[in-house]
Structure 1
Amino acid sequence: MFIDNSRAAVQDWDAVAHYLAGQGMTFDREREIRQFASGIANLNYLVSLDGKSAVFRRPPDNDAPPGAYDFARQYKILSRLGKCLPTIPLGLAYCDDPSVIGVPFLISEFRQGLAISRELPVQLAAVDDIGGKLGALIVDALAQLHRIDPAEAGLADLGKAEGFIARQIHGWHKRASRVMSGESMRKVERLRDWLVAHQPAERPGTLVHLDFKLDNVLVDTDSLSVQGIVDWEMATIGDPCYDLMLMLVVWGEPNDSPVYTQQCCMPCRAPGWWTRRQALQAYQRQTGIQMSEAQVKFYWLLAMLRNVGALAQLIALYQRQPMPNASTLDMPTVLATTLDHAVDLTVRPLDW
């Protein structure tokens, strides 16, 4: 859960405490502060604010790509959505003054729970049909989010639904073009062109998380209930089918091809783990949103374009500034195989 204190990134906690005191809040400097092990780029710490456990979150020290680490947006979401959806940790404080510690930071409620990734935690290994239960849990949580009226949550101005998919296509192409070149970039352009030619009709917009997976969901291992949903900085108003497919592209199945295994972030070998089709069908039942097979393929390939662009950005980031808590995943290999597979799928049926 935490990294060793000897490897923790040092922060100016006295400056943080002074700033929060000016906002009428008490930051406990006597309590031990621990850095969470999770997170690829952002730095997250367990702290104490006004006598309660809280999470301090800040971006790394580097030249971030445009739009990255939008903490103002994340705080807006947490401070409003957290009031109407109990699984959202409430935003408590936000600082955009770079004179305090050099970067923005935010503080939110701490929620006790387990973030589950590819390996099933030992405390859940004996639970009957644990894979099916976890699959149902995360699909239900995503469907619940998509059923919320953005206006009722005070977030109607969070984004613009019109043109959302077109912006995703061209936005991820543009991001890739900043850090990719040669034959790889030509493949990205082929994928972009296919997506432009096959874009479906626009759907009504909903709140979308854009990184919804089990390691961003805090699970109570006794009740198997969602205690918190985290990492909201990319959230906006957009197409819920795209949000679903971003989850399914890292879903994983026991007999997946290597290209999908590389992207898997879920415990897909847990007994009873749902197939992607089961997850898709459950989501459609709960939301009433239906997709044709052609639309499923479109959103799948758009999700793969997004993964290609995100991986390319991370590779470039780590080349400029290696990080001690960076992922050990062979990202260049994953990038190359994902891109090749996505381009191949433009001329053949979806393979799941």
Structure 2
Amino acid sequence: MSVLDEASEVREGETLDLERVDQYLKQVLPDLEGSVSVKQFPGGASNLTYLLQYHNRDLILRRPPFGNIAKSAHDMIRESNIMQSLRPVYPYVPSVMAQCTDHDVMGCDFYVMERFVGIIPRKEMPKEVALNEEDTRRLCLNVIDKLVELHQVDYKAAGLEGIGKGGGYVKRQIDGWSDRYTKAITEDATSFETVIAWLKEKMPEDVGTCIIHNDYRFDNVVLNPDNPFDIIGVLDWEMATLGDPLMDLGNTLAYWVQADDDPQFQFMRRQPTHLKGMLTREEVVDYYLGKSGLELATFDFYEIYGLFRLAAIIQQIYNRYYHGYTKDERFSGFVHAAKYLEQRCLKLIENSEL
């Protein structure tokens, strides 16, 4: 098994018109040589990511999912513009090579970026990357450090004042995700009424405004294959904006399944945060606060928000599957995952001192 992140065959219903894509790319990137082949990366349940291989270069193509999607969602041009502005001050962002708004090519906006050849820590670390407990902790801290570093970027100097509204972010997120969840409910889904009411009652003021990734996870970082402690890339900037840094951390911890979590949460794990040496969620919060200089009595609100937001994303994806807009069988059980996350939120609310 290769340690590098590999693409595989394109999934049913997600094929590209390769001839049109090839014609377009050779117009904007005339140095491309030979015919093109395409594969698809397995990760992700939102935007689709493809590997385009020419004789002299590999490229990554990102496009929205197929089927009906919200007008404001999956904005490829916004994502690629953010990446281009952010890369000079946060060098882990891939270089954008082309962006296309001509729907005659693919029926949607898309962009093409450079490929970072490396290791992406997905559900399991590659067996060839043998990390002991101390090594694992070192990797874990390096990943958190890159989030802290992002939050410390001077977004005004980077020309990114326009990517979000900034202040009032907490309230906008609670109101927005509550509305999106409600609109995505299917007949077999749960309501989240108690959780939504609690979040609206307990929401704090913003602790600050910075660039936030909004989907920062182990499987969105790329490790140097020659030195797995070296993070060479951070991917998936679709939801990046200006907002509250602790809300960003709450989003990250929604995916942080640790070794002592219950079997249902373990089943949802998609990154190697269960390994010996990985920080617990509580340790992540303490480490982040220490590095960022922020002080906080309890992280309960942000943890519950992160889980609710994840449930809303999952339910939105399931809604597309439920109504037949995607045939991807990975999504068939997502409604059960959302129901589990509601129970997890309710348990945290029951034990919270807020």
What is residue 43 of structure 1 aligned with on the other side?
48
Match of 1:314 among 312, 317, 329: 317
Matched, 1:303 2:311: no
What is residue 336 of structure 1 aligned with on the other side?
339
What 5-or-longer segments of structure 2 have no aligned partner? 1-5
Deviations 1:184-203 (A, max 9, x none): 654x2321221121111222
Q: TM (normalized to structure 2)? A: 0.89
Distance in 2 between residues matched to 1:9 and 1:29, nearest whole Å: 24
Q: Does the 8 Å CA contact 1:218/1:229 hold for their aligned counterparts?
A: yes
| 3-state SS of paired residue (2:163) | coil
Distance in 1 between residues matched to 2:56 and 2:9, nearest whole Å: 24
Q: TM (normalized to structure 1)? A: 0.90
Q: Does the 8 Å CA contact 1:91/1:107 hold for their aligned counterparts?
A: yes
Q: Does the 8 Å CA contact 1:59/1:103 hold for their aligned counterparts?
A: yes
Matched, 1:34 2:39: yes
Q: Does the 8 Å CA contact 2:97/2:113 hold for their aligned counterparts?
A: yes
Matched, 1:96 2:95: no
Mean Cα displacement is larger for which, 259-268 or 204-213? Answer: 259-268
Distance in 1 between residues matched to 2:135 and 2:13, nearest whole Å: 34
Q: Does the 8 Å CA contact 2:76/2:110 hold for their aligned counterparts?
A: yes
Matched, 1:171 2:176: yes
Match of 1:202 among 206, 211, 215: 206
What is residue 65 of structure 1 aligned with on the other side?
70
Matched, 1:346 2:349: yes
Deviation at 1:340, TM superposition (A): 2.1
Matched, 1:136 2:112: no
| 3-state SS of paired residue (1:168) | helix
What is residue 216 of structure 1 aligned with on the other side?
220
Query: Given the superposition, is the C-alpha separation of residues 196 and 130 from structure 1 closer, same or farther in structure 2, using an over 3 Å criterion?
Result: same
Query: Given the superposition, is the C-alpha separation of residues 24 and 222 from structure 1 closer, same or farther in structure 2, using an over 3 Å criterion?
Result: closer
Matched, 1:53 2:44: no
Number of residue equivalences = 347
Describe how 1:283-298 pairs up with structure 2 within 5 A.
283-293=288-298, 296-298=299-301
Distance in 2 between residues matched to 1:182 and 1:154, nearest whole Å: 44
Query: Given the superposition, is the C-alpha separation of residues 28 and 192 from structure 1 closer, same or farther in structure 2, using an over 3 Å criterion?
Result: farther
| 3-state SS of paired residue (1:54) | strand
What 5-or-longer segments of structure 1 have no aligned partner? none
What is residue 270 of structure 2 aligned with on the other side?
265
Deviations 1:5-45 (A, max 9, x none): 68694322332233344446444452433222222233222
